[in-house]
Structure 1
């Protein structure tokens, strides 16, 4: 099918990946790139990966859709020549081969780039090309454990619980895609390509539930690194409540939401005190409130509860199963899934892409290729010329230098989209107002900016505008005229109600790229529902999967902020694609990101299988359905656990030998994968008995040394001591006024030859840069700005004397300070 109109139409990508790394070029294929999958003659391993349906791997079908495919034997000179002929005229190469393999064959990144000087090559491996973990085996369970996200997942007082699917590495793969696009954009400006070394582990550590990143409300305002070991009981934050026919989930944040619930309860005297309008009082008395609400809901269906709540401004969502979500009118109206041929003769429901572009879905176009289906493939379309082929600027470049982003985003997904673009070099201007304060600023004071806001909004400027006033709107439009990107994550229709929808903005600036990031999408019956992340997870069926499978109500997603961070990365990737496309057309576009569809896309294998084999998408806990042993096993220390993933008989033999039980490898009950799955409980008991008296890191190192994937389930406060992250320079700090010491943050995970790194800078005070931005960017005179301020159309914020410091140079990389200070 045609890719005309998609922003990456004409971009050429050679894909030497497999497994979850293949999601990166798949994301680019969705956005229009011509991606050619290069496989060995026997096919990539994922062609044989479970789950299978009638001999078809659903992993392969999902990961490699929208691509063409050729089979090449790199062990022969002819095969190597064929690969290099493809890379000679490619724009991008993604590879996930064993470290050093391509170089040993004589077709490594250096050889590719010597022949094609503006080629960008991205290596995406489990742990990167360098560092003490370089040769470690990864996997979703191991990656999540080492990222620290695992120890924050699971029900209170239970063992850690692996989130469903491959959420950590799926999110990491999307980030890898946008780093490839960032390097491509830079290569087209300079005429010089690049080599980028990326690690799924490092990306996951800062992309899924980052231990040093912007946190959600479940931390109760505390830094994640200050949380004690274990999984605290925070069910009162986003409580799950029984109804007559299931469960609903709610969030009562604002006083008006509480008052609406109080009215619904019949205005009980015990909750009448005004202090109950404060969230802290409700948390303290949650048990009594919960019992009252449960009595109210006992004879009502989930649909009745949700309908009443929506009509009265109460955030509420049904706890759907995946099948219920897929069958809903909302999902059908949005075409979030499409019934399509995923292999010759096999039709199934397929997640229909991460984003919409100008209200058209950038989703599934064609099935994954048969082996060598496109033998002799040649590139389609014409190659774009570099934007700046004379190479007037030498040396590393910031990929988004010279671009301006107007950031109206709020809370996590809004903040993080702009923060990543700022880290890539854009001038990100946060547009905000005291009248409608970003929730992340709720604990700001005159002495300091809140910690969550500081982390998620570092490197930005802030301008205060009242967008409900005519003069404020006019000022915003003048900023749009001088900008490249606008970011929003308001309730759908908000910008249109202000007269600032995409049609109005592109009339001012046809090149503007606008991102609308919402919970459930900008159209459909559920589009106007309140968009808190936990309610999204409940609506799409994720919460019902994120549960300890041995009980009906031990849900494990109370602490996560997924899909906020993931949706932010999707938005960044779509922006980078739109900017690449704009180089040819000169025209911007509207990008729609629905967090609901981010979940569908990242769990696409499970949803497709559910459409073919109903009932298969259900809670699995820490168990890999097709392999054993896989799980989280106890170790010494408070909340001590280690993740172990054995995926073949050789690894089982190595584990058994390390346990001092080589006999287990030949025991008929355990010798084969199928036998171990049948005796899973016994196998798990044997492994747990061996791990229990050891430290988690010791088990990890022993097993990785013999080729078995294992990772300590670390806590957020352990991250800064991780030897791989230290070796690869993954920490920095910002000097944020009002804090006793610098705030430690994750830094750019891309190890690149030609991408410059932006200096770390602090987050802004509210409206700190209003005067400068309105004069320098919008073109107002100083007198006009003062008039805007006097009228209330523009806002400024005074800070405590001496508290503000320059945003320039207010940060350090991990090489410049001891993070243990």
Structure 2
């Protein structure tokens, strides 16, 4: 694949979606697919959505960039014929209409697939085609609340806090694209397409910051369902410290880092206790001893001074930047993380430049979203292309026969490989005890830790020392018989090991290398330590994730975002590269910067900030463009429900539910702007109605009345959520060493022809060394034992005993 060719070049996608689902098509378009947006005669609703600039919707502009646009009126015979003509030669059809709507019109997925058996049809709805919430009204706030993230977001002792932007639905949309590409990859091998039921709610639960997924250090090793309610104080894990010109965030993980900080501070007597070299000792003494000393020490220093000196000493510290500082920073300019372009006719703005890099090319913005019907004539006039007929008897799992060498660590590294293992890939985790994966530090003898189990299920483990010449030679032999190598090392590590992409490609020209890093492989910040909270701070997200009434009311301490979101983007990139490799028969180097995942998922907000400086700031829980919209306290401990009003009809429905229908006819509430101006009195009316109710009672009454609402549930509540149960979104992972199966999330979609993931246990360290060396490298036991003796290979502790 040439560096100038994107991996989905030649793939045709018909995008009959709008709202959050539209970003799935955008992600595919960024990867090179020819995505055709199909709109009704009046245009999709997001053309009229806020925020707007010069009468153009910025949400529409960022969601539908890189697409062509046609108008098709499916309420007419001609329009339905035109839609079927488009799908006859397509590879993927995305739609986001109410369940059954297209079938009722006579253009349902079954007819489309009868005409084009290789077609992949993905129905993307808020809550899926089945389940008790199927007809619920959704909103970003409702998804965040119902997923359990909201009750884990916010400053200790405060009410929950909505994350900025639309992180939930943006993350879910990437996984929709991943699911569609999985089905396409299988269809290209088998000749048979598929039908996908994609629920955005399911995907938010799975992907944003999953309650039953791999967690970071903010949980202190505990399953999230054991965390107490009310946003417990875990700020000592990644403390935020004030300084002369703002704040910095730090993480002291090791005794070596603590000693470096202690020496830098001049070895103060009050911090000389050797117990402080241990993580638990620092936790116990954080508030009384350590925090006051560090606050005093940083008080006369700038962010740059602190970050620069900390880097010299090997201490993980990042500045809390603002959105405007990020847009003006040298690093993002050097990386071309943003580009300035015409995103709508007459509107030139700054827009993020894509999640991924393939070779030397970014999968980012290429051209603006289409005007209404801009390409109708050209697209409908294009000659039909016959689809090649392929019939192959392959395994039911789309990635059967694909081998992945997984060098990834912690959350983003683990989750990228896990997503591939779930779909049938043979994922081999390469690791050694001298540089053990930090996620294994909580492992007990002969027992894999809870978090590691969830993030590394379905993999095999090979103990291998890549820093030895013999280890590199064995790795090269594995590369020769593999398809993908996953890494999330600090940039430059592979090159220092003599394992650069050029060297891997020389061994296997078809190899796909994924290099994930915190800040990207180039740019002046590329070597900064990549812990997720430091990424959030550095790229400006922590400053946005704040209670707006308090300068230091930061609310992101318990989340591991963007690790899972970046992992989903990386896994989707792998499938795209596999699809591209079928055409070119050569591999590809794929690079991902976690910080650019944040940028892409706040694309609308960054575009607006570039046009209207000062708009990308902490906004709290109140909806900006209509009212009453926000978080409302219910009866019970830590009990809240979110309500979203978006338009006059929603407001009228709400007034009926709360027993005050006369409000809808009062002139002071006639428009969204009017309602925002009278937010306080409308909030008071909702509060009076909702305060005697439980969150679930409020949710059910509001939803029954046609109002988007969601109870702010806790992680344990997901275990009894009727919708997740009906859609089989939680499975049981039989992990050795545990008395009961571990709850594990399924997904990413309900396929017609792809079975749900098989929940296989995560491996003990080096548990599969012998099997892998025998099976793939043809080694005898005596050869294996010799390499174990000289430190090249490692075996499981059970074999060493």
TM-score band w.r.t. shorter chain: over 0.9
Which position in structure 2 is the counterpart of 1:810? none
Report the 3-state secondary structure (helix = DSSP H, G, I; strand = E; otherwise coil) of the residue aligned with 2:766.
coil
Which position in structure 1 is the counterpart of 2:323? 322
Which position in structure 1 is the counterpart of 2:556? 557
Q: State the distance in 1 between where 2:605 and 2:457 align.
A: 37
Query: C-alpha deviations, 1:122-162, integer Å up to 9, x for none?
Result: 01110001111111011100001000011000111111111
Report the 3-state secondary structure (helix = DSSP H, G, I; strand = E; otherwise coil) of the residue aligned with 2:560.
coil
Report the 3-state secondary structure (helix = DSSP H, G, I; strand = E; otherwise coil) of the residue aligned with 2:534.
helix
Report the 3-state secondary structure (helix = DSSP H, G, I; strand = E; otherwise coil) of the residue aligned with 1:669.
helix
Which position in structure 2 is the counterpart of 1:59? 59
Which position in structure 1 is the counterpart of 2:592? 593
The answer on whether the counterparts of 1:3 and 1:9 sit within 8 Å (CA) in structure 2 is no
The answer on whether the counterparts of 2:746 and 2:756 sit within 8 Å (CA) in structure 1 is no
Cα distance, 1:294 vs structure 2:
1.1
Q: State the distance in 2 between where 1:746 and 1:757 align.
A: 11
The answer on whether the counterparts of 1:173 and 1:200 sit within 8 Å (CA) in structure 2 is yes
Which position in structure 2 is the counterpart of 1:406? 405
Which position in structure 1 is the counterpart of 2:334? 333
**Does residue 68 in structure 1 map to residue 47 in structure 2?**
no
Which position in structure 1 is the counterpart of 2:38? 38
Q: Which moved more, 1:473-482 or 1:731-740?
A: 731-740
Mapping of 1:433-444 within 5 angstroms?
Answer: 433-444=432-443
The answer on whether the counterparts of 1:171 and 1:207 sit within 8 Å (CA) in structure 2 is yes
Number of aligned residues: 798
Q: State the distance in 2 between where 1:569 and 1:776 align.
A: 30
Q: State the distance in 2 between where 1:77 and 1:313 align.
A: 68
Which position in structure 2 is the counterpart of 1:256? 256
Q: State the distance in 1 between where 2:114 and 2:378 align.
A: 23
The answer on whether the counterparts of 1:96 and 1:123 sit within 8 Å (CA) in structure 2 is yes
Mapping of 1:156-195 within 5 angstroms?
Answer: 156-195=156-195
Which position in structure 2 is the counterpart of 1:358? 359
Which position in structure 2 is the counterpart of 1:806? none
**Does residue 684 in structure 1 map to residue 683 in structure 2?**
yes
> Any unmatched runs of 5+ in structure 2?
none
Report the 3-state secondary structure (helix = DSSP H, G, I; strand = E; otherwise coil) of the residue aligned with 2:349.
strand
Cα distance, 1:760 vs structure 2:
1.0
Q: State the distance in 2 between where 1:670 and 1:654 align.
A: 14
Change (3 A) 1:382 1:261: farther
Query: C-alpha deviations, 1:565-607, integer Å up to 9, x for none?
Result: 0000000010000000000111110110100100000000000
The answer on whether the counterparts of 2:9 and 2:32 sit within 8 Å (CA) in structure 1 is yes
Report the 3-state secondary structure (helix = DSSP H, G, I; strand = E; otherwise coil) of the residue aligned with 1:118.
coil
Which position in structure 1 is the counterpart of 2:614? 615
Which position in structure 1 is the counterpart of 2:758? 759
Which position in structure 1 is the counterpart of 2:717? 718
The answer on whether the counterparts of 1:670 and 1:683 sit within 8 Å (CA) in structure 2 is no
> Any unmatched runs of 5+ in structure 1?
803-821
Q: State the distance in 1 between where 2:198 and 2:520 align.
A: 31
Q: State the distance in 1 between where 2:639 and 2:345 align.
A: 48
Mapping of 1:465-480 within 5 angstroms?
Answer: 465-480=464-479
Cα distance, 1:629 vs structure 2:
1.1
Q: State the distance in 2 between where 1:357 and 1:26 align.
A: 17
The answer on whether the counterparts of 1:10 and 1:381 sit within 8 Å (CA) in structure 2 is no
Report the 3-state secondary structure (helix = DSSP H, G, I; strand = E; otherwise coil) of the residue aligned with 2:669.
coil
Cα distance, 1:384 vs structure 2:
9.5
Q: State the distance in 2 between where 1:59 and 1:458 align.
A: 37
**Does residue 224 in structure 1 map to residue 187 in structure 2?**
no
The answer on whether the counterparts of 1:446 and 1:800 sit within 8 Å (CA) in structure 2 is no
Q: State the distance in 2 between where 1:382 and 1:512 align.
A: 34
Cα distance, 1:749 vs structure 2:
3.7
Which position in structure 2 is the counterpart of 1:780? 779
Report the 3-state secondary structure (helix = DSSP H, G, I; strand = E; otherwise coil) of the residue aligned with 2:738.
coil
Which position in structure 2 is the counterpart of 1:425? 424
Change (3 A) 1:147 1:381: farther
The answer on whether the counterparts of 1:405 and 1:427 sit within 8 Å (CA) in structure 2 is yes
Query: C-alpha deviations, 1:149-186, integer Å up to 9, x for none?
Result: 11000111111111001101110000000100000011
Cα distance, 1:767 vs structure 2:
0.2
Mapping of 1:365-376 within 5 angstroms?
Answer: 365-376=366-377
Mapping of 1:267-416 within 5 angstroms?
Answer: 267-287=267-287, 288-378=289-379, 389-393=390-394, 397-416=396-415
Mapping of 1:111-130 within 5 angstroms?
Answer: 111-130=111-130
Which position in structure 2 is the counterpart of 1:446? 445
Cα distance, 1:801 vs structure 2:
11
Normalized against structure 1, the TM-score is what?
0.95
Mapping of 1:589-668 within 5 angstroms?
Answer: 589-668=588-667
Q: State the distance in 2 between where 1:774 and 1:649 align.
A: 66
Q: State the distance in 1 between where 2:333 and 2:657 align.
A: 52
**Does residue 16 in structure 1 map to residue 11 in structure 2?**
no
Which position in structure 2 is the counterpart of 1:769? 768
Cα distance, 1:275 vs structure 2:
1.6
Change (3 A) 1:745 1:384: farther
Mapping of 1:58-97 within 5 angstroms?
Answer: 58-97=58-97
The answer on whether the counterparts of 2:695 and 2:711 sit within 8 Å (CA) in structure 1 is yes
The answer on whether the counterparts of 2:734 and 2:759 sit within 8 Å (CA) in structure 1 is no
Report the 3-state secondary structure (helix = DSSP H, G, I; strand = E; otherwise coil) of the residue aligned with 1:500.
coil
Q: State the distance in 1 between where 2:673 and 2:649 align.
A: 14
Change (3 A) 1:268 1:130: same
Cα distance, 1:228 vs structure 2:
1.5
Report the 3-state secondary structure (helix = DSSP H, G, I; strand = E; otherwise coil) of the residue aligned with 2:376.
coil
Cα distance, 1:311 vs structure 2:
1.1
Q: Which moved more, 1:110-119 or 1:733-742?
A: 733-742
The answer on whether the counterparts of 2:179 and 2:748 sit within 8 Å (CA) in structure 1 is no
The answer on whether the counterparts of 2:89 and 2:386 sit within 8 Å (CA) in structure 1 is no
Cα distance, 1:383 vs structure 2:
6.5
Query: C-alpha deviations, 1:610-666, integer Å up to 9, x for none?
Result: 001100101111122101111111111211000110111222122111111112212
Q: State the distance in 2 between where 1:4 and 1:17 align.
A: 29
Normalized against structure 2, the TM-score is what?
0.98
Q: Which moved more, 1:266-275 or 1:716-725?
A: 266-275
Q: State the distance in 2 between where 1:712 and 1:136 align.
A: 13
The answer on whether the counterparts of 1:239 and 1:249 sit within 8 Å (CA) in structure 2 is yes
Change (3 A) 1:286 1:580: same
Report the 3-state secondary structure (helix = DSSP H, G, I; strand = E; otherwise coil) of the residue aligned with 2:196.
strand
Change (3 A) 1:488 1:771: same
Cα distance, 1:4 vs structure 2:
5.3
The answer on whether the counterparts of 2:446 and 2:764 sit within 8 Å (CA) in structure 1 is no
Report the 3-state secondary structure (helix = DSSP H, G, I; strand = E; otherwise coil) of the residue aligned with 1:777.
helix
Cα distance, 1:444 vs structure 2:
1.0
Q: State the distance in 2 between where 1:122 and 1:801 align.
A: 49
Q: State the distance in 1 between where 2:778 and 2:668 align.
A: 77
Q: State the distance in 2 between where 1:152 and 1:422 align.
A: 29
Change (3 A) 1:754 1:3: farther
The answer on whether the counterparts of 2:307 and 2:317 sit within 8 Å (CA) in structure 1 is yes
Report the 3-state secondary structure (helix = DSSP H, G, I; strand = E; otherwise coil) of the residue aligned with 1:340.
strand
CA RMSD between the two structures: 1.6
Cα distance, 1:782 vs structure 2:
2.7
Report the 3-state secondary structure (helix = DSSP H, G, I; strand = E; otherwise coil) of the residue aligned with 1:799.
helix
Which position in structure 2 is the counterpart of 1:464? 463
Cα distance, 1:382 vs structure 2:
9.8
The answer on whether the counterparts of 1:209 and 1:562 sit within 8 Å (CA) in structure 2 is yes
The answer on whether the counterparts of 2:92 and 2:122 sit within 8 Å (CA) in structure 1 is yes
Q: State the distance in 2 between where 1:791 and 1:519 align.
A: 34
Q: State the distance in 2 between where 1:474 and 1:89 align.
A: 46
Change (3 A) 1:764 1:160: same
Q: State the distance in 1 between where 2:755 and 2:716 align.
A: 29
The answer on whether the counterparts of 1:10 and 1:382 sit within 8 Å (CA) in structure 2 is no
Which position in structure 2 is the counterpart of 1:807? none
